[in-house]
Amino acid sequence: MNRPIPSRTVAPFPTTRLRRTRSSAALRDLVRENSLGVNDLIWPVFVVEGDDVEQEVASMPGVTRKSIDRLVEAAHEAADLGIPAICLFPYTDPALKSEACEEAWNPDNLSNRAIRAIKQAVPDIAIMTDIALDPYNANGHDGIVQDGEILNDETNVALVRMALAQAEAGADILGPSDMMDGRIGAIRSAIEGADHRNLTIMSYTAKYASAYYGPFRDAVGASGALKGDKKTYQMDPANTDEAMRLVERDLMEGADMIMVKPGLPYLDICRRVKTEFGVPTFAYQVSGEYAMQEAAAANGWLDGDKVMAESLMAFKRAGCDGILTYYAPRMAKMLSEA
């Protein structure tokens, strides 16, 4: 529902000079409408097998895949900077990928071992997980594929098993990113039944079939495996009302927080979610957004730090309560220095 813009009466110039409150840093600070703090940041990180391993992701300058020991060090760094949460994404050995995706709910898979290691070493940082089958799927899809169709209900069974394994490993926030119908209700029922009553679900509710995900698929090793596209389950970029229907459904099924993905191209969706539902609303500044800004900064076309800060403030202005961003440590350092 589009709400009417309230009428405003502003006294004419020179009675009103809107530049008055911009005339000094102190006045600008006093009247600033939105603020960005370290508590607004969630850091997405990539984990890979091995010891003392750190691999560059070519399409995401400055981003690396880390082995669990290196990831524990990164979690310490995040906690020291005041970042409240990290989000784990695994780079799965291709030999472990299958059409049934069984590795997704293996209690000792890479993600679950990483959860346990971080929880033991840095117990106060919140760990968010990804619930989708694409890192484990021989077909590269978020769901189980049969005769070219991505199966909804059969995928939900697998996602529930995956969620329970992550819950047992010690996850704090489950992040279903698959976009299957009914998966939030199925996961909520399962974790309630397993006595994980306080486990939080941040649903990727409005996840669009976007061209901005390419570098992420490189980072988790899903690019080469993907057969076809994801348009039958991820949202059409042209739609907004559909996103509101999805938000309402996921909240009714037990989601605690709502995710919009990608971020900057969908700020209108962030604003509608916050305005119409008033629930904790998050956005993911995805790999393509990050890569574009970094490429422009590397060429000297933009000031990288200033563009980073401006882009993150845009999420707050749109109504987001937090942002998943690869810039989290860099932005946290800037905030502490300021």
DSSP string, 123-184: TTSEEE--B-SGGGBTT--SS-EETTEE-HHHHHHHHHHHHHHHHHHT-SEE-B-S--TTHH
Please identify which residue in the block is written with the tokens 């061209």. 211
230 three-class SS:
coil
Q: Which candidate, 97, 325, 163, 132, places its Cα nearest to that of 233?
A: 132
User: Residue 3 domain-assigned?
Assistant: no
* Paired sense of beta strands 281-285 and 322-325, if any: parallel
Q: Give the model's pLDDT for residue 1.
A: 45
User: Residue 8 domain-assigned?
Assistant: no
Rg (CA), the chain: 21
User: Residue 212 domain-assigned?
Assistant: yes
Instruction: State pTM to two decimals.
Output: 0.94
Burial class (CB in 10 A: 0-12, 13-18, 19+), 331: buried
Containing structural domain, residue 159? 36-337
Distances, alpha carbon 318 to alpha carbons 278, 313, 323, 329, in Å? 13, 9, 11, 22
Q: Give the model's pLDDT for residue 4.
A: 60
User: Residue 14 domain-assigned?
Assistant: no
Q: Give the model's pLDDT for residue 5.
A: 61
User: Residue 21 domain-assigned?
Assistant: no
Q: Which residues contact 72 (CB under 8 A, 6 or more apart)?
A: 117, 118, 121, 122
**Number of domains observed in the structure of the chain:** 1
Whether 230 is catalytic is: no
Please, are residues 45 and 324 in contact by the beta-carbon 8 Å criterion?
A: no
User: Residue 307 domain-assigned?
Assistant: yes
- Both structure tokens of 104: 């997704």
- Both structure tokens of 128: 């968010």
Distances, alpha carbon 61 to alpha carbons 56, 221, 288, 329, in Å? 8, 16, 11, 14
Q: Give the model's pLDDT for residue 7.
A: 66
Please identify which residue in the block is written with the tokens 């939105």. 34
Which of 207, 230, 274, 316 is an active site residue? 207
Give, for all 338 residues of the chain, the pLDDT tens digit.
455 666 677 888 998 999 999 999 999 999 999 999 999 999 999 999 999 999 999 999 999 999 999 999 999 999 999 999 999 999 999 999 999 999 999 999 999 999 999 999 999 999 999 999 999 999 989 999 999 999 999 999 999 999 999 999 999 999 999 999 999 999 999 999 999 999 999 999 999 999 999 888 888 876 667 888 999 999 999 999 999 999 999 999 999 999 999 999 999 999 999 999 999 999 999 999 999 999 999 999 999 999 999 999 999 999 999 999 999 999 999 999 98
Which of 97, 230, 261, 316 is an active site residue? 261
User: Residue 12 domain-assigned?
Assistant: no
Q: Which residues contact 329 (CB under 8 A, 6 or more apart)?
A: 43, 77, 78, 81, 83
Q: Give the model's pLDDT for residue 225.
A: 73
279 three-class SS:
coil
CA 245 to chain CA mean position, Å? 20
User: Residue 23 domain-assigned?
Assistant: no
- Give the phi and the psi of residue 275 in degrees, each rounded to 5: -70, -45
Whether 66 is catalytic is: no
Burial class (CB in 10 A: 0-12, 13-18, 19+), 204: buried
Which CATH number does the domain housing residue 177 bear?
3.20.20.70
